[in-house]
Every structure is written in structure tokens, then in C-alpha cells.
Structure 1
Amino acid sequence: MKGKGIQAESDLQCKVKESEIYKYLKGRRYLIVVDDIWGMEAWDHIQRLLPDDNNGSRIILTTRLKNVAAYANSASPIHMLRFLDDQQSWHLFQKKVVGDQDCPVELQEIGEKYVKRCEGLPLSIVTVAGLLSKIDRTPKLWKRIGANDGQLETILLSLSYKHLPRHLRECFLYMAGFPEDYEIRVSELIKLWVAEGFLEGRDESKTLEEVAEDVLEVLVEQSLVLVTSKKSDGKIKRCKLHSVVRDFCSRQAGEEKFLLPIMDYFPNPIVRRHFLPQVLQNHQRVSVSWYDLDLKDSTHSSCTRSIICISQRGYRPKGSIENFKSLQVLHVLRRKDHAFWELGQVFDLIHLTYLASKIPSNIIPSAISKLHNLQTLIIYRSEVSLPDEIWNLEQLRHLIAFSFLPLPDPKDSAKSSLKNFQTLSLATNFVFSSSMVRKFRNIRKLEICYSLEEKFRPNYFDFGSLGLLSRLEKLKLETHCSFQLCPKFYFPRSLKKLELSGWRLPWTYMMVFGRLPSLQVLKLKNYACSGELWKTIEGGFVDLRLLHIDESNLQNWTTESSHFPRLQRLMLHRCLYLSKIAVDIGKIPTLELIEIDDHNRSLLYSATEIKEKRDALEVRLKRF
């Protein structure tokens, strides 16, 4: 009871102080800066203390979390702090260390090394400068700290890391497995997170892959992950860790025995080979070089479950993984080399859920049926031949290669559909048989290439069964024919992204695509449509955000702003015969970007004229 009384008294004192703050500000005009807010509840609490008398008072809020900034006031603009250049970085560092004075000459060279290491990250610069400002300004001491500055990253990032829930921590620490400055393919990172089991599908309307996309967005908003490129639909395509962040991530992952980046801890390859057997016995997840796994007799582990293998240029042995009997994830970084695994070893790893690698032969043997837990198969090779047994892998989610030879018909395989199957890329001369459609009932991404000679020219392609794939969101249909094809398309209403290449369709086919209610991205490449005139009509493309035409003989495009009511990005590349863009395009209220290539000056001039009437519109020049 005594403890409760003390707590009640403390709460009462807080309320009295809050009341005093509110009374003091009431009726006054104030400017208040609230620094480093971490959550929405904290902002709600502070906001109650600040009276709104509509008298011009202002509040400036800083936070590392974009969602908190948007929550505080969705109507006000959010200023996203960018990385600083060398001059700005040095100015900030110097101001924090010595104020308005100049940095002593004897410390300048050492200080510049510190600043360069921060790579323009303001939070890093301020943290480093803050530490150095509290010690004696002597070159000897500054150098000594520089030789052991792991504490800088810890101080810088520990707060951000500690605020993450467990599954976000796991996803973040996993990125320590990739080398410094390596641009990570988000499509593969997401599949890895899913295969590792970091994510839970709490929302039945979302796949685990969609949950993973949300996780990545959160890590980006918290400034832990850098976006290096985006897809046409605005989603993240590639990302990486800032070097300062990666150092922290690598250290934290090792300390928690979550994942050990072996080359970070043992940079010397001779020392690494000596300690590797012992290290592998104590860590479930490792990232390691290809060279280190070329130890057929001494490298083994019953503990290691996941390997991120960093292939090395100029080193092309057959890797050995036959002694990793518990291995579940094997991801070889996609680089231009010729290293590969012995397939016989791989198919003995019956616990594998994820495999991404180059292979020595384009023929996958029937022994793949032993990998009954396999979810993701990514092969860095073209013209891959799959056996009938591939359709017996009931856990399969993603099947990807540079290209597959025509797939075996699953009519004689297990009758059940692949309920989790989401991705097939890139299939060659795919036939929509009833058994194939039944297997792919839940597929979300499908990429197909048709390679036909003139003598095999059909009157049309029958895509009737395509409409039965009710969850299909992304579709790519490519052909390398030199003649016009007139297929009958039956697209599912769920389609969000459509890419066509080489079909030479009449522009009247656009009416078919325009009726797709969910279509957001339309890419027409390599004479996907052929003809001089495209005349759009009212009521189509109701949700189209991006239109990309690349290589076309289009000369006259007649359209109105209401025909593309939500268009945000228009990209016209290698449209050599199109001299102007309809003025009405500029009246689309959502339009943000027009991108033109550098081979069509008249089209660029037309886009510039449209921009003159729209301040917020960006006109970008694409160089080929």
C-alpha cells in the first residue's frame, strides 16, 4: 500500500507540473522544438501540454521515425535529412568539436579521417564530434581513440536497435551476412527472411513476402537501411547498409551469436581456415567465402543451418557442403564467376528450404524430389531443364532461373496444387494446360518468353486459362518473333503489373488492358504494340500509375487527361517517330514525372513545354 501511495503522489506531481506548463503557454505565442521523439504515445502526451490558440505558434518536431512525423501532423511537410557532402560534413564536425573556432591544424588531418568514415551521416558526425569534444585535443589521444573506435557505432545505433521488436531485430541483423557496400537484391532478401522463419503472417490478407516488404520499409524509415534503387512501381529494388551501420550490425550479430560474418572477424584467410571448423560448431548462421568452404575433409558442422556464401572472382573450385547435414539455407551471392556446387551434395541436404546458386549443368536430376522442404529455388543459369518430380515439392514458393526450358506437364505428378507457389520466372514457351493451371492456382508473379519461328506461326495464342489465375499480380509476356501475333488475352482482374515485349499488337489492344481494374504498371517494350496511331478512350486505366513505352513506331498519340486519371509517371524511350505529347497529359493532377530519352529532342521539347505549366512536374532525360 505504501508503494502505491508513493506512485499516486508522483503521478499527482506530474499532473500539477503539466497543468502549470499548459497555463503558462495559454494565450502566448510560442516556438517549441521537440527533439528525438520515438513514439506516437510520447507525442500525444506532449501535445496535451501545448495549447492551440490559433495565434501563429509553431512546433518543430524531430524524429528518426517517418511514421511518427506523419502522425504528428499529416498536413505539414516532412523534411527528410539528406547525407552531407564533404564540406558540410566538416563544417558540422568542426562546429560540434570547437564551436565557432577553427579546428587546430595539428588535429585537422585526423579529424578529416573521422569525418570521411561517417560518410555524410549527420547522426554519426554529431556522435563522433560529441565524444571528441569531451577529451583533450591532442593528436596522440585522438589517434588512440581512432584505433579502437567500435564504441562510436554502439553509441550511435544502440538506441535505434533497442527500440526494434524481435522480428525486426532478426531481419536487421541478418543483413550483416552481406559484404560491405554490397547492394542487396530486395527480392532475394525477402525470400531469405521468409525461409529463415523470421516473420509471422498475422494478417491473413498478406503473404509472408508482403509482410517482409513492410519490415524493410520500417528499417528504411529508421535510417538503418539505405535504398539504392527502386522499381518502376516505387517499391525498393536494391538496398544496402551504410558502412557505419554495417559495422554495428556485424558486431551485434556476432555478440548475440545470431549470425557470424566470418570474414569480418577473421580477415586473414590463413587464420580463417584454422578457426573455421571451431567457429562453425558454435554458430547456426554464417557468411563465408567460397574459398573457405573448399575444405572437403575438415569443414563440417552439424550445427550450421544457414550459409551466405560470398563468391570470389578468379577462384573457381567446386564448393563442398556435403558435411553440413542440418543446412536449411544456402545463398550464393550473384556475381560474375563460374563457381558451383556438386549437385549430388546439394540433394543430400534434405532440410534445405532455400537454395540460390549457379549449377554445373543445366539439367536438374530427379533427385531434387528429396528436398521435400524446399521453398525457394533460384538458379543462376539459362535454359534450365526441370524433371517431372519438381511438382512434388509441395512447399515450393518461388522457382526462378535466367530461363527454363519448357516445363514438364504436371498431369502425372501429385494431384494437389502448390498452395504456396507464388513465382515462376522465366518460363519458355509455356503451355496453359488444365493441369498446369491447377498447380499454379495461387501464383502471383509469372514471366514467360515465347521463341517461335515463322514456320511455326500459330493463328493465335490461347491465353484463356490465364484468366483463372485469380491471384496473379505481375505478368511478363515476351516474344522474339519478327511477325505480328494476335493472341486472345484473358487477364485476371487481380493483375497489377503487366509487361509485354515484342508482340507487335495493334494499339486497339489497349482497350483490353484498360479494362483491368487493378492495373497500376504497364510496360510496352520492343514493339509490344505496332502502328502509327493510338487513340485512347474514356473509362480505361482507372488505376494506372506508370506507363512505359520503350521502342515503338508510334507517331500520333491522341489522349485526354481523364483517360489516365491517376497516372504518376510517364516514360517514353526510343519512340523516334513520336514528336509530341498531348498537352492534356500535363493536366493529370497526379502526374509527377515525364522521362524522355536523349535521342528525341522534339519529344523532350514537348515535355518541357508541359512542365512550364506545372511547377511540381519533373522532366528527366534518360541517356542510352
Structure 2
Amino acid sequence: MAGLGKTTLAKRVYEHPALRNNFNFRAWCNVSQEYQNEGLLREILGCIHPENSKLYSEKEEGALALELKQSLLKNKYLIILDDVWDIKAWNTLKVSFPDDENGSRIIITSRMHGVASDAKCYSEPHCLRPFNDNESRELLKKTLFPNDDFPPKLRRVGMQIAKSCGGLPLSVVITAGILQTIEQDGWQEFAARLSTSVVSGTEQCINMLELSYRRIPDCLKKCFLYFGPFVRGQEIPTKRLMWLWIAEGFVQQVEQEESEEVAERCMKAKAKEKAYPKGGKEETDPKIAEAENFLQLQLLHGYEGLFTFSESYNTSSVGFGGSSPSEHFPTEIEVLVELRYLAIWGKMQSVPSSIPNLTNLETFLVKRNWGDDVIMLPENIWSMMNLRHLGVSNCCGDMSLAKDNLDNPWVLCNLSTFSNLALVYEQGVEKLLTKLPNIRRLKCKLREPEDSEDLGTHCSRVESMGFLTRLKSLSLSFKFIDHSNPIQFHLPPNLEKLSLSYFPWSMISAIEKLTNLVVLKLSNDEEDISDREAELPHENMTDGDHEEEIPEVVEEGEQPEEETTREKRWDVAEEVEFPKLRFLKLSSMTISRWTGSGDHFPGLQRLKLEDCWYLKEMPNCLGSNSPLQMIEIRYCPMSVEFLVYEIERQQKYEGNQDLQIFRQQNYEGNQGLEHEGDQGLHIYSFLR
């Protein structure tokens, strides 16, 4: 029966603290009625090795099945297969689940008792029973009044409403959501409208959902129903969904607010940030959508199995790709003059100069399957005045203007997002960026010009982005820049999110001035650690061996003294503070001393350390003042784990008694650091 809580129960098992620490790998897979074997295998592998997700998208079913089996072999794993409707799905997947008799577990949820019976190995299927009246009332009370009982005047009507939910927890939760929008004086009228004779199960849940839908504001109804065309059980990226809403005209700009800000409010009003085990998952009932004649909307995007093509020339959103990428940019789209959202996946080397004919286009997303790392965008793309979001995946988009065109009047005033811009460093970089005056999110990779030798020493290596006052999120990669003569960037003062990779260490002083940062990610400070793998300690060495083998870092231009070297340091000055910083990531950094004497990170909640093989010291303030909730360690030596463990000890001493350490133990050296009973601070470690 739908709505009994099968998925909720499996989720509680999956996320239980005792189990996080007990398995090498955990994976959650939504199967549902409509599925593809390749998609299920990719979803499981994506949980196990998220860093390889892009590689899995190019492999076929046989290769994926073998990859999964090899990954799980000799490892203890927990796999959840949620909402299985067909025993064929289980028979396809089970060959990739090795049984090494090491305590691995697989949990299946299904509405079909026959599926559960056929798939069982060691235990009989566990059938959930409906709630009794008192249990339904208790769930309703906890949802509406978490810390109190019903007010006296609502106790009787609360019980009446709980009984009308037919013992289905899902119906109780949906009903609670409706009651939150009703004045308490209206509860009696609402209870009278509820039918106690509705059919239990799926039909009752549909009735409850429809009742909830009828109560939401008209401006949100279309946003809600737009979920209908998506494949059930698959994740829907929130940002892309909001862009589609805007393209369809569901969301309008309000006074000084951007359309995206209005769309985000609509999303929160509708979904209230419901948490699922692996990302967000939203569903709508097709019967409601059909009743509203709403599924006539055209939608085509890069979700596997969700590809249609409109016969109308005034469709608002469309995409191309399907199960195989397009060889060339499809010329058919040129006639879709009303198009406002276009997403395309293919092998094309460039975008044709005819694309600006789509004068109404607001969102343009291109995903390259393979080939060169740059796709050429036409120079006249600058004339697309309505363009709001421009994104390129798996490569960079080159939209550079010729030097003799830098002074032309083209300005993309409405462009808010540009992902993966290939920014060729030359004298006109600042002029090019001034043509994006209202950009809010920018991700780009800097490159040396082909004629860099001809530019000579007179070419300025200082660039300013300070005039981009509306820029909130910036990602910069200096990987293709000559680090013997690095570029220095003056950063916008209002940045909230900053990601830098292969950056010159001299930029750290500019970073310390960004007091509005909420997210900061720093990786590969000037040198790629992967290029020096021979210098890294061997994975089978003891931690004492690590200390002896890690080479000291000599800063560029300096010579080591007789037997000592100068270490690379991040000494945070006492007056420096990041008051709004919530997330900090250091990846493949060569600093060995990270120190500070003040309270530099008063609001830090999450710290991630990855490939920091040289780190020997961390600021004391991380243990004394910061309200840390999570620390994640990936591919770091045990010496870093001990630094983190000291932070946890200090946090407890300062009064944060609700600390909890979670650790994925990939080798025996972790055993000595394991603690039980700690609550709150999560420490994950993944070691080679």
C-alpha cells in the first residue's frame, strides 16, 4: 500500500549513525516503475564513487555492471533499492552484488508482495501495517506541534481528522501541511469535508494530494504541476527547474527582485526543502495534471528517457540529445522563434552564428560529450539581449571578442549566469567583463593567448573585477596560466561564494578582505600535486614514515638553506575575520602551517580537507569558538586526522557536548581514533 512509510523506514536505517560507520560503501537507488538498467547501475556507482560520475555516463550496461561488481568485491556494503515494481530489476542488478559473507546488506522496498517474496534470500518480507487511530493522532500532533500537545479546543477535532487519514502516515503528513495553512477556527469545517469512506492506499493519497493542491495559491499551481513530465524517482536539479519555470512565464520579476529570487521563494513555499537520502526528489500526480490539461507543456532536457519534440514553433522550452548525443548542432531549432529555454547535448565543435535568431532565448545550455576542451560560441552571441543563463558542460565556452571589436556597443545586461567561460588572458579582459555588468554567477578558466610570447613584458598581469558589484558566486581556474608570471586579480567585494584552483598564493591577501563570503573553496595553490605523485608517501607506510618522507615545500625563487627549507604558511592576521563563512574546503594544498591567533571563522559549520599531505598545523579557533557541524577528510595522512581529532576534543571542552564522529574505515590505522557516543560534529575520512 502506498503511503505506509516503507521509504521512510528504509531511509532511517540508511542514515542511522551506527550504520554509517559500519559499511565501506552505502548506496541508495530509486527504481520505480519506469527504469533503465544503465540508469540504475549509474545511480549506485554514483553513490559509491561520486567523483567518477561523468565517466559512468559514457559506459554501457555491461561495463557498468562489471565496474559495480569490482567496486563492491571484498568490501562491506549497504544497498537500498527503493520502490521496486518488477522482479526483473532485481534479477538484473543482483549479479553485480558479490556475497563475500562479510556482513553486506541489501534492502528492497516494494508495493508488490510478489516482488518481495521472489527477491528474499534470508528473511521473510516485512509488511508494514497501517497506523491505528492513536498513532495517527500522535504523528499529526508531532508534525503540527512538535513540543506540545494539541490546544484543548483542537483535541477532539484533531482526533477526528487523524481518523480520516485511514492509517496512512503519508496522508497524515499531507493533512498536517494543509492544516498549517488554515486558521484554527477553520479546522472543524475542514474535518467535515474529509471523507471517511475514501478507498485506502494510492487513491486516498491522491485525494489528499489533490486537496492540498487546491489550497495552494494560483501562482504556484503551474509550478507544482510542471513536475509532471519528469521521470518519477529521478532527481531534478533545483536551479534548472527554476529556469524552466521562468522560461514558461510562470515566474515574473517583482520590483527590485530577480526572477530567480522569486522562483526560489516559490520553490521553498511548495517543497519546504524536503530532505531525501540522495538529493531532492519531487513528484506530482499525473491525474491532477491531466485534470488541469497541463501536460501539454513542452519539456525536453538532459534527463535520460525524457525527450520529446514539439511540432509547434512557439514552444518555450526544448532540448536535443536523447540516448545518443547529436553529431552536429541541429538547424531545426532556428525556426523555433519563441524559444526561451534550449538545452543540447552533442559532439559539436562550435555553435552556429544563426543562434542569435532565437531572439527570445533566455537560457542556453550546451553539454559536450567529448572532443576538444573548448567549444566556440559565435561572436554575435553578444547581441542576444534576453539571454539570462549561459552554461557549457564538459568543456569551456569561448566567446572572446576580436581585439578590434572590444569597443562595440554589445552588452549582455540581462546575463545572470555564465558557467565555464574560457577567458583568454590578454589586454582586453577587463573590457570584456564590463560587457557583463549584472552577472551574478561566473565560472571561468583563464588561458594564455596564443601569441603570449609576442605580448612581451609590457603586458599587464593585473586585472580588476571590482566593478562587478552584483557578482555573488565566482569560480576561477588558473591552470592554463604561466605561473612564472602569474595573473593577479582584484576580486569583487560582495562575493558570497568563491572557488579558486591553481591560483597564485599571493591572492590569499585579497581573499582575506572578502568579509561576505559564505562558501570558500581553495585547491591546488600554484602547483598540481598530482604532478608530484612520486614525492607523496606510499599508502602502506606508517604514519611515522609519512612524517619522514613528506618533502618540505620551498617557495618559488627561494633557495633552501643547508639542511632546512622554508615552509609555505597561511598565517591569518589577528584582525582578519570571515564572519559569514559557513563552508571551507582546502584541496591539494601545499601549505604546511595554517595558523591564526584570532577568532577568524566564528560561523564555520563545515570544513573539508582533501589531499592536504603537507598540513601540520591548523588554527586553534576551529576548536574553541566555531560551531562546527561536520569535518570531512579525504586522502589525507593520519597526521591531519590527529589535528582534526584535537579540534573535536577542544569543541567538547568548550561546551559542545553533542559531538559525533563518523568515519569510513578503509584501513586499519583508523581503528585507534574511533569513538562511540559522540553527537553532532561529523568527521568523515576517506583514505587511499
TM-score (norm 1): 0.62
Q: 1:565 to 1:455 in 2, by over 3 A?
A: farther
The whole-number CA distance in structure 2 between the counterparts of 1:156 and 1:215 is: 21
The answer on whether the counterparts of 1:466 and 1:490 sit within 8 Å (CA) in structure 2 is: yes
Q: 1:554 to 1:168 in 2, by over 3 A?
A: same
Q: How many residues align?
A: 442
The answer to whether structure 1 residue 477 and structure 2 residue 529 are counterparts is no
The whole-number CA distance in structure 1 between the counterparts of 2:135 and 2:602 is: 53
The answer on whether the counterparts of 1:449 and 1:479 sit within 8 Å (CA) in structure 2 is: yes
Aligned with 1:450 (options 446, 455, 459): 446
The answer on whether the counterparts of 2:464 and 2:489 sit within 8 Å (CA) in structure 1 is: no
2:588 maps to 551
Q: 1:443 to 1:455 in 2, by over 3 A?
A: closer
The answer on whether the counterparts of 2:170 and 2:205 sit within 8 Å (CA) in structure 1 is: no
The whole-number CA distance in structure 1 between the counterparts of 2:682 and 2:358 is: 51
RMSD: 3.9
- In structure 1, the residue corresponding to 2:211 is in which secondary structure? helix
The whole-number CA distance in structure 2 between the counterparts of 1:435 and 1:601 is: 48
The answer to whether structure 1 residue 419 and structure 2 residue 413 are counterparts is yes
1:407 maps to 399
Q: 1:240 to 1:427 in 2, by over 3 A?
A: same
2:242 maps to 190
Aligned with 2:230 (options 165, 178, 192): 178
The answer on whether the counterparts of 1:93 and 1:125 sit within 8 Å (CA) in structure 2 is: no
Of 209-218 and 594-603, more deviation after overlay is shown by 594-603
2:686 maps to 623
Deviation at 1:348, TM superposition (A): 1.5
2:287 maps to 251
The whole-number CA distance in structure 2 between the counterparts of 1:553 and 1:454 is: 30
Aligned with 1:209 (options 249, 255, 260): 260
Aligned with 2:571 (options 525, 535, 539): 535
2:317 maps to 329
Q: 1:427 to 1:98 in 2, by over 3 A?
A: closer
Aligned with 1:517 (options 515, 518, 541): 515
Aligned residue type for 1:188: R
The whole-number CA distance in structure 2 between the counterparts of 1:127 and 1:487 is: 55
Q: 1:214 to 1:126 in 2, by over 3 A?
A: closer
The whole-number CA distance in structure 2 between the counterparts of 1:163 and 1:340 is: 47
Deviation at 1:338, TM superposition (A): 2.2
The whole-number CA distance in structure 2 between the counterparts of 1:478 and 1:121 is: 52
The answer on whether the counterparts of 1:183 and 1:228 sit within 8 Å (CA) in structure 2 is: no
Which structure 2 segments of 5+ residues have no match? 1-81, 83-106, 112-125, 137-166, 176-194, 528-554, 556-566, 660-680
- In structure 1, the residue corresponding to 2:632 is in which secondary structure? strand
Of 151-160 and 348-357, more deviation after overlay is shown by 151-160
The whole-number CA distance in structure 2 between the counterparts of 1:307 and 1:406 is: 25
TM-superposition CA deviations, 1:207-246 (whole Å, max 9, x none): 111222222222232x7x55566xxxxxxxx5212xxx53
- In structure 2, the residue corresponding to 1:380 is in which secondary structure? strand
Q: 1:348-387 to 2 correspondence within 5 Å?
A: 348-381=335-368, 383-387=374-378
Aligned residue type for 1:197: G
Deviation at 1:134, TM superposition (A): 8.0
1:41 maps to none
Q: 1:563 to 1:455 in 2, by over 3 A?
A: farther
Q: 1:436 to 1:363 in 2, by over 3 A?
A: same
Aligned residue type for 2:419: S
The whole-number CA distance in structure 2 between the counterparts of 1:622 and 1:340 is: 42
1:464 maps to 463
Q: 1:620 to 1:326 in 2, by over 3 A?
A: same
The answer to whether structure 1 residue 122 and structure 2 residue 114 are counterparts is no
Q: 1:302-341 to 2 correspondence within 5 Å?
A: 306-307=299-300, 311-312=304-305, 321=309, 323-331=311-319, 337-339=324-326
The answer on whether the counterparts of 1:548 and 1:571 sit within 8 Å (CA) in structure 2 is: yes
The answer on whether the counterparts of 1:127 and 1:152 sit within 8 Å (CA) in structure 2 is: no
Identity percentage of aligned residues:
27
- In structure 1, the residue corresponding to 2:228 is in which secondary structure? helix
Aligned with 1:428 (options 400, 422, 426): 422
1:441 maps to 437
Deviation at 1:386, TM superposition (A): 1.1
Deviation at 1:413, TM superposition (A): 9.0
Deviation at 1:409, TM superposition (A): 1.2
1:169 maps to 221
Q: 1:513 to 1:98 in 2, by over 3 A?
A: closer
TM-score (norm 2): 0.57
The whole-number CA distance in structure 1 between the counterparts of 2:478 and 2:623 is: 33
2:645 maps to 608
The answer on whether the counterparts of 1:594 and 1:619 sit within 8 Å (CA) in structure 2 is: yes
- In structure 1, the residue corresponding to 2:391 is in which secondary structure? strand
Deviation at 1:542, TM superposition (A): 3.4
Deviation at 1:456, TM superposition (A): 4.7
Deviation at 1:487, TM superposition (A): 2.4
The whole-number CA distance in structure 2 between the counterparts of 1:542 and 1:485 is: 33
TM-superposition CA deviations, 1:468-493 (whole Å, max 9, x none): 11111111111324845532221111
The answer on whether the counterparts of 1:426 and 1:448 sit within 8 Å (CA) in structure 2 is: yes
Deviation at 1:552, TM superposition (A): 1.3
Deviation at 1:173, TM superposition (A): 1.1
Deviation at 1:405, TM superposition (A): 4.6
- In structure 2, the residue corresponding to 1:595 is in which secondary structure? strand
